[in-house]
Chains A and B, each alone.
Chain A
């Protein structure tokens, strides 16, 4: 009887530290996991927003008449990385998700500035094209019409002079 009591005391002595160690481990590690998940989630949200902003910049450049195929290649690369980041996140691989989302963000570094340069260049080219094709063309038409009229009047005068001289 006494031996049994001693055994159970002995067990208790082991159980308490093991239990405490387990609790400490859970308390200690859970923020690490939670932090990895939060970091990955945050990186994905930032990458998503960046892709959205870059899309808007590409759209503005396209509206100005710029050739945006190179911009779209970059956007497609970043979009694919973001898709893979989401997949890794859903699979619980937060480290890969974070890395892929960060790569997606890096892919888009300088994108908006590049899109704005294309947009400005396209706006300038559009202005020049407008001046040449529309203003130049309307001016040319006016010159042809007025020139034709002046030529007709001059020819008429000359014809009348020659006609009256003949009389």
Chain B
């Protein structure tokens, strides 16, 4: 038996064993760095699916949706969701210019989400309003969202002549606390619900 014939075999076995021994260290070193830092923001319907969103709503009736945030910023995110409501003539958030609506926020929901984690909030809301058929308008009284109530007495929705409905837009803008600047800024994302306030 010539031992030199087994030289390559011996080298391969040693190299495989060395690689196995080095794998815990290599697994730490050979990690591709995260290059995309972003946040997911979504709204789901009452069955936790992207369907059956409330549209035709009745006075003082409860409706539910789910709001969710997926954090991929690379660090624990400090988010604010600004809850806003508008009629068809008032300014909306702009997806193209990536600007928020100039309307004041009714309520701010604060959310802290760990990196690569998901945060979700079940939302239950109801509207109190009065329909005036002669003036063809709806006068809002209040909105209740998760047991928090807002006085909405200055809000009026006029009838949409095309579809004969009274459309209001409940929307949620995502803001976040920028860790590098320390300033809260619009995160260029919003979700919204068009609601027809029926009789």
Residues of chain A touching chain B, judged by Cβ–Cβ distance below 8 Å, are 51, 55, 58-59, 62-63, 68-69, 72, 75-76, 79-80, 82-84, 86-87, 91, 132-134, 136-138, 140-141, 143-145, 148-149, 152, 155-156, 159
Interface string of B53-83 (1 = CB under 8 A from A): 0000000000000000000000110100000
Q: Does the CB pair A144–B17 fall under 8 Å?
A: yes
Q: Which residues of A contact B52 (CB under 8 A)?
A: none
Tell me if B44 counts as interface (CB < 8 A to partner A). Answer: no
A69 vs B113: C-alpha distance when bound (angstroms): 8
Tell me if B117 counts as interface (CB < 8 A to partner A). Answer: yes
The one of A55, A134, A156 in contact with B177, judged by C-beta atoms closer than 8 angstroms, is A55
Q: Does the CB pair B28–A133 fall under 8 Å?
A: yes
Q: Which residue of A lies closest to B117 (CB)?
A: A69
The one of A72, A82, A83, A155 in contact with B113, judged by C-beta atoms closer than 8 angstroms, is A72
Q: Does the CB pair A83–B107 fall under 8 Å?
A: yes
Q: Which residues of A contact B111 (CB under 8 A)?
A: 76, 79
- Interface segment, B19-27, B30-38, B85-93? B19-27
Report 17 cross-chain contacts, Cβ distance below 8 Å, ordered by A residue: A55-B78, A62-B76, A63-B75, A69-B114, A72-B113, A72-B114, A75-B112, A79-B110, A133-B25, A133-B28, A134-B28, A137-B24, A137-B25, A140-B22, A143-B21, A145-B14, A155-B3
How distant is A76 from chain B, measured CB to nearest CB, in Å? 6
Tell me if B108 counts as interface (CB < 8 A to partner A). Answer: yes
On whether A133 and B24 interact (CB within 8 A), knowing A62-B75, A84-B148, A155-B3, the answer reads yes
Q: Which residues of A contact B109 (CB under 8 A)?
A: 80, 83
Tell me if B18 counts as interface (CB < 8 A to partner A). Answer: yes
Tell me if B179 counts as interface (CB < 8 A to partner A). Answer: yes
Q: Which residues of A contact B40 (CB under 8 A)?
A: none
Q: Does the CB pair B108–A86 fall under 8 Å?
A: yes
Residues of chain B touching chain A, judged by Cβ–Cβ distance below 8 Å, are 3, 10, 13-14, 17-18, 21-28, 75-76, 78, 107-115, 117, 119, 148, 150-151, 177, 179
Q: Which residues of B contact A134 (CB under 8 A)?
A: 24-25, 28
The one of B3, B21, B24 in contact with A144, judged by C-beta atoms closer than 8 angstroms, is B21
A152 vs B14: C-alpha distance when bound (angstroms): 10
Q: Does the CB pair A80–B110 fall under 8 Å?
A: yes
How distant is A142 from chain B, measured CB to nearest CB, in Å? 9
Q: Does the CB pair B117–A83 fall under 8 Å?
A: no
A101 vs B3: C-alpha distance when bound (angstroms): 81
Best-buried of A72, A84, A136, A143 by chain B (most CB within 10 Å): A72
Q: Which residues of B contact A82 (CB under 8 A)?
A: 110
Q: Does the CB pair A55–B112 fall under 8 Å?
A: yes
How distant is B125 from chain A, measured CB to nearest CB, in Å? 15
A66 vs B108: C-alpha distance when bound (angstroms): 28
How distant is A120 from chain B, measured CB to nearest CB, in Å? 18
Q: Does the CB pair B28–A148 fall under 8 Å?
A: no
Q: Does the CB pair B108–A58 fall under 8 Å?
A: no
Q: Which residues of B contact A149 (CB under 8 A)?
A: 14
The one of B3, B75, B151 in contact with A156, judged by C-beta atoms closer than 8 angstroms, is B3
The one of B22, B119, B179 in contact with A141, judged by C-beta atoms closer than 8 angstroms, is B22
